[in-house]
Amino acid sequence: MMLSDGFVSDIDGAASFVPYLKDLVDRNIFTTVVYENAPKQVIELASSYGIPVTEKSFSIGEITLLDISPENLLYYAAYREEKSHSSPDSVYDNIKNSPFGFFNEVEASYSGISPVQLNSYIRSRILYTIRGAYGQSVYGTIETASLFRSLRDRKLTENETRVLRLVMEANGVSEREVIMGLRTNIFGIGSTLKTLFLRSIIAKDANRKYIFVPEKFEKREAFALSIRKLIERFGFIDWDRFSRFAVSDSDQEIFEEICRDMTKAGKIFKAKIHGGSKIVYATRDLMNFRKKPQGIRIITQKELISLYLQDLIKSAYGSGMILLTLTKNEIYSFKEKQKSGWMRKISQLSGGKIPSDVRRELMRHGFLLND
């Protein structure tokens, strides 16, 4: 029996083994024991001891076992998105309720911002092109850029400081203008600007000119806000998932400290998603989730939902896009054959014949069906 890390799987023992496992936790020999794929009689006995059980598993100790499927995690994320953008007449509120920006026009449209509005806000310098979550270029406010700057905080080099000072003095400056403004031959100005952009220290406006991003958050404050917003959106979080989101593999101590504080406050708890291998922090709202959002939601390959749940989506549906027909509890996966401007051609679509409402939704977002 592999008990060294606190997990027990597929034990071919009698039901009398349950009291023994409980005693191990009670005597603090292990903080947690998770028993997966247990026989029916073992599950029934565990339940009689007041131990939380699922159909085939149970956990004893500080970690709760969540029996939730990738499908329900997708529905939960879509439901939370729908709830957070409940002001269809207020574009400003919808931008404010999207603290990580928008990866593309499809994601923005489901946040209550039409392509025309998105383009207008980019031209009017309310939204900029910034280096956001997962190292992707997204449309976001200066506050969003500042958030990611603090998440990736590090000291500037001497060359970076000189280049940044010139960007700060201008209200939008091109690479050529930076070179002319410095009047000295600093090697690699282009690569320096690229590095500053990758660290979210500068952003780009509609004319692709560089804009200075001020520091508006302390590092711990940025961590706490991002963790809270991700938990609100997805119902769970773990360090690997967060470090990929922030594009930062350091400061795990800050992450764990914030999660411990939230656990003590009763906002989250330690859990293990059934079938997964990692310990996560989850909410009661996720554990008790039974609702379903309304309508249809296209989830593109590069947006917050698909990147945050990337491992779970890939194992369940492959590497294509996902289309949720929320009212009918159907999920399609599909791939793009080619892309030209706004038009995308679908080369594969699982699920057989495409319903008329699904067809309309795909065409509304510029997808051409390969019938």
Tens of pLDDT, residue by residue, the chain (371 residues): 333 334 445 455 555 677 888 888 888 777 777 777 777 777 788 888 888 777 777 778 778 888 788 888 988 998 898 887 765 567 777 788 889 999 999 999 988 898 999 999 999 999 999 999 999 999 999 999 999 999 998 889 998 999 999 999 998 999 999 988 887 666 788 899 999 999 999 999 999 999 999 999 999 999 999 999 999 999 999 999 999 999 887 799 999 999 999 999 999 999 888 666 688 999 999 988 877 667 888 888 889 999 999 988 888 887 777 777 766 667 777 766 655 555 566 655 665 667 788 888 888 888 776 65
Residue 103 · residue 66 · CB < 8 Å: no
Per-residue model confidence (pLDDT) at position 3? 39
Per-residue model confidence (pLDDT) at position 6? 42
Strand order, beta sheet including 210-212: 137-140, 128-131, 202-204, 210-212
Domain end residue (candidates: 27, 47, 62): 62
Tokens of 44: 């029934």
Does residue 283 sit within a domain?
Answer: no
Does residue 38 sit within a domain?
Answer: yes
Does residue 311 sit within a domain?
Answer: yes
Does residue 322 sit within a domain?
Answer: yes
Q: Global pTM?
A: 0.85
Q: What total number of domains does the chain contain?
A: 2
Does residue 235 sit within a domain?
Answer: no
Per-residue model confidence (pLDDT) at position 279? 86
Does residue 201 sit within a domain?
Answer: no
Does residue 47 sit within a domain?
Answer: yes
- What's the full length of the chain, in residues? 371
How far apart are the two ends of the chain, measured CA to CA in Å?
54
- The parent domain of residue 326 ranges over 296-368
Per-residue model confidence (pLDDT) at position 1? 35
Per-residue model confidence (pLDDT) at position 7? 46
Domain end residue (candidates: 29, 47, 62): 62
Does residue 181 sit within a domain?
Answer: no
Domain end residue (candidates: 40, 62, 84): 62
Per-residue model confidence (pLDDT) at position 86? 60
